[in-house]
Chain A
Amino acid sequence: MGDYKIPELGEYAEIPPVCEGAMSHSHPYVAAPEHQEALGFPGELVEDWHGKAIGRLGELLDQTRSLRVYLDSCVRCGACTDKCHYFLGTGDPKNMPVARQDLLRKVYRRHFTALGKFPLTRWLVGAEDLTEEVLDDWYSYFHQCSQCRRCSVYCPYGIDTAEISMAARDIMDHIGKGQKYCNEIIAKVHKIGNNLGLPGPALENTLEGLEEDIEEETGVKVRLPLDEKGADILLVTPSADFFAEPHVDGLIGYAKVFHQAGASWTISSYASEAANFAMFIGSYEQMREVALRIRKAALDLGVKRLVFGECGHAWRVAYGFLNTLAGPWDFLDPNYPVPQHICEYTWDLIEKGQLKFDKSANDHMTLTFHDSCNIARATRMGDKPGGQFEIPRNIIKAVCNNFVDMAEDTIREGTYCCGGGGGLLTDDLMELRVKGAKPRMEALTQVVKNDGVTHMAAICAICKSQFSKVMPEYGIGMDRIVSVHQLVSDAIVLDGQVTGEETDKLGGDAAPQTEE
């Protein structure tokens, strides 16, 4: 680690030549026994790991249609080979989605298909035994997939390599070869309620601090309530929002929006985490256990609505899976979707004309927007397909005067992953993260040069952390990544707010600019 070349940025559409083994040395730390056992997985590689792995694969095949259909259906047309940012950034052929799938497919063929079981035809269909080397390849390359689903958009059958990676990681967990980063975090959520292991009192302190900051800045008492029974709205947000930059500025933005809307809301210390890393390890049971904390918090606090903060995979689990994992949500107010995204919430208020903005507050920036992969390709906002692209952009345009999109095939459903999703946002995978960010950095550099873009906004905690870490490697300042609700926060004019120059309190209607 640390001993690798930062890729040179070129045209973003360039396809690198195949370079075998370029990333075979990359693997994350293996989970320690205590992290494994906390999730009910064996502490270390079990004796009969081969038999157990094949057994678990069989179970997953019976439980998961996607896995079964996708392992059979690939025709090796090659359409996905140039679609993965990790291949584009590293040139390692095993980072081509189809080749990544084949790591599992060859074992599937060997044990679950007629031609692969039969010795004379085995070589024909590329069936192979699960040897120690193959297992090492699994550990390496299934931890070089951020489960971003870009390949699935472009495959003629929608084959989603994320589904294959999730299955492979689940098998590895079941034989005692889990990944430290994810499993340690999930254990913390089970125990304390968030990825950081931030206990209730610390959270309370943090929120009080933020309240003071806001009051100092605006002169308005904006609250960030914790565990308030009887509140209408439960806000579930990634724990990075409580302290990391630029995440926390987004949290301040949500608070101001709630305040200005006159909403009664609360954060829960029991379910103080929107992220659900159990998705990354492909475990339905673990994912459900994490999701049930949110259900319990909603019931205990007696809220009527559920709103999620800015986080990509969290929104996937919330939007796509929460109803399945922890529903039905019939005890909440049926007039609102369950759950709602904070962007849906804010945009709704903007459309109704209930928020006032001073757009000039963001005039020192020219913004572009990074579509986070899970939001773009696995969820929706609003009631029309594609709302997940339009609503965040609409919000940015309502609070900023300068907005430019990056090249069309690098945004919306074709967006490139930040390079740190899918449980890879760990220091032991730094080389992969830097190289995987290359396509996004190229597209960003292009609008920086051509359109004078100064900042990129995102609505995902992982994207924000990843970019603030890797952008400097490409010569872009770490402060160039901002939260969408940070922009909202900067432009919103609260009732009774004291602005920079004037000491007089401004009345609502004297606000500089009103956006409909």
Chain B
Amino acid sequence: MTALFAILFYAATAVLAVGLAFKVVQYARTPAPLKIPTTPAPVTTGGVVLRMLREVVLFESLFKSNKWIWLFGYMFHGALLLAMMRHLRYFIHPVWDWVVLVQPFGLYAGFAMLAGLGALWFRRIFVQRIRYISGPSDHLMLVLLIGITASGLAMSYVSRTDIVALKQFMLGLMRFNWQPLPAEPILMAHLGMVIALMIVFPFSKLLHAPGLFFSPTRNQVDNAREKRHLAPWAAKLEAGGE
């Protein structure tokens, strides 16, 4: 079991890192031929950084759009962030002070995450329009995340896991000095689903996370009149055509 999970973790990490890097490089290399910021847009780079920050930190456009989706989505993502911060303690030694501070919040975050995901799924099933646009992968993604969260909470509240041994396993993975993984079914389910999530990340709609930063309607400065914008392929067209 230890060896299996160790190998899966290495593989999943590699897929996630290489897959994401590939996508980010692909996005960065694909030229944006025209200036298409959704206006009113900032007229300076500093303004664009702020706009982007508001999108990432506050989900500004979603807030304008739909308060319910915003609330549930924000609950889920905020809780996800806290939970991930809480999980850092399994990967670092000694544990940083702020990670210690975050621990209790991280725990409650689990419930918030479950509630947020549950509400999003509810909408997906019961709101006619959203049911229409949902495919199997959209439901499965929520099932997977609910599974991860529920199994995580189960280990905190139902049958506690040997955290010390788990940490040894994780640190062992990182130091290439494998230590035994506690043979508990809930833990294995939890880790198995996390591995699945890591692997599908670069192949699924989870690409919205890097995608947002490359969205031309959000990341372009509104200065088309002041500064000439020309994609490399368009420059070639110009050179050949005139």
Please give the residue numbers on chain A whose beta carbons come within 8 Å of chain B beta carbons, in ascending order: 15, 17-18, 61-66, 68-70, 72-83, 93, 96, 98-99, 102, 113-115, 123-126, 149, 152-160, 163, 284-285, 288, 319-321, 323-324, 327-328, 337-339, 376-380, 383-386, 388-389, 413
- List of A residues within 8 angstroms of B61 by Cβ: 79, 153-156, 158
Contact call B135/A125, Cβ cutoff below 8 A = yes
Contact A113-B228, Cβ < 8 Å, known A64-B30, A76-B138, A413-B39: no
Roughly how many angstroms separate A114 CA and B22 CA in the complex, as a whole number? 13
- List of B residues within 8 angstroms of A75 by Cβ: 138, 205, 208
Contact call B62/A320, Cβ cutoff below 8 A = no
Query: Across chains A and B, which 9 residue pairs bring their CB atoms closest together, nearest first?
Result: A73-B211, A385-B40, A158-B217, A154-B65, A78-B130, A126-B135, A156-B62, A79-B65, A158-B218
B160 contacts A by Cβ under 8 Å: no
**Best-buried of B33, B43, B127, B233 by chain A (most CB within 10 Å):** B33
Complex partner residue of A385 from B35, B43, B212, CB under 8 angstroms: B43
Contact call B27/A113, Cβ cutoff below 8 A = no
Contact call A319/B207, Cβ cutoff below 8 A = no
Scoring B residues 202 to 219 as 1 if CB is less than 8 Å from chain A, else 0, what string do you get?
A: 011101100110111110
B177 contacts A by Cβ under 8 Å: no
Give the shortest distance, in Å, between A379 (CB) and chain B (any CB): 6
**Best-buried of A76, A96, A339, A413 by chain B (most CB within 10 Å):** A76
In B187-215, which residues have CB < 8 Å from any A CB?
203-205, 207-208, 211-212, 214-215
- List of B residues within 8 angstroms of A126 by Cβ: 135-137
Roughly how many angstroms separate A158 CA and B231 CA in the complex, as a whole number? 21
Contact call B123/A78, Cβ cutoff below 8 A = yes
Interface size on B, residues (CB 8 A): 63
Roughly how many angstroms separate A96 CA and B224 CA in the complex, as a whole number? 30
Complex partner residue of A81 from B32, B64, B133, B229, CB under 8 angstroms: B133
Q: A78-B127, A93-B129, A156-B73 are in contact. List 18 more A-B contacts (CB 8 A).
A: A65-B214, A68-B26, A73-B205, A76-B205, A79-B61, A93-B132, A124-B135, A153-B38, A157-B218, A158-B61, A158-B218, A320-B35, A324-B33, A324-B230, A337-B225, A380-B41, A389-B40, A413-B39
Give the shortest distance, in Å, between A195 (CB) and chain B (any CB): 22
- List of A residues within 8 angstroms of B59 by Cβ: 156
Contact call B39/A388, Cβ cutoff below 8 A = yes
Contact A284-B234, Cβ < 8 Å, known A65-B30, A376-B39: yes
Contact call B212/A115, Cβ cutoff below 8 A = no
Complex partner residue of B217 from A61, A78, A152, CB under 8 angstroms: A152
Roughly how many angstroms separate A339 CA and B224 CA in the complex, as a whole number? 10
Give the shortest distance, in Å, between A197 (CB) and chain B (any CB): 25
Contact call B212/A73, Cβ cutoff below 8 A = yes
Contact call B40/A388, Cβ cutoff below 8 A = yes
Q: Which residue of A lies closest to B66 (CB)?
A: A79
B134 contacts A by Cβ under 8 Å: yes
Contact call A324/B38, Cβ cutoff below 8 A = no
Contact call A77/B218, Cβ cutoff below 8 A = no
Contact call B35/A324, Cβ cutoff below 8 A = yes
Contact A125-B33, Cβ < 8 Å, known A93-B129, A153-B38, A156-B55: no
Complex partner residue of B132 from A63, A99, A156, A383, CB under 8 angstroms: A99
Contact call B129/A96, Cβ cutoff below 8 A = yes
Q: Which residue of A lies closest to B222 (CB)?
A: A380
Scoring B residues 31 to 57 as 1 if CB is less than 8 Å from chain A, else 0, what string do you get?
A: 111111011111100000000000100
B167 contacts A by Cβ under 8 Å: no
Contact call B234/A72, Cβ cutoff below 8 A = no
B237 contacts A by Cβ under 8 Å: yes
- List of A residues within 8 angstroms of B228 by Cβ: 323-324, 327-328
Roughly how many angstroms separate A70 CA and B215 CA in the complex, as a whole number? 8
Contact call B129/A81, Cβ cutoff below 8 A = yes
Q: Which residue of B lies closest to A82 (CB)?
A: B129
Contact call A78/B133, Cβ cutoff below 8 A = yes
Contact call B39/A379, Cβ cutoff below 8 A = yes
Contact call A69/B214, Cβ cutoff below 8 A = yes
Contact call B132/A158, Cβ cutoff below 8 A = no
Roughly how many angstroms separate A240 CA and B8 CA in the complex, as a whole number? 65
B69 contacts A by Cβ under 8 Å: yes
Contact call A115/B204, Cβ cutoff below 8 A = yes
Q: Which residue of B lies closest to A379 (CB)?
A: B39
Roughly how many angstroms separate A82 CA and B41 CA in the complex, as a whole number? 23
Roughly how many angstroms separate A76 CA and B205 CA in the complex, as a whole number? 9
Contact call B33/A385, Cβ cutoff below 8 A = no
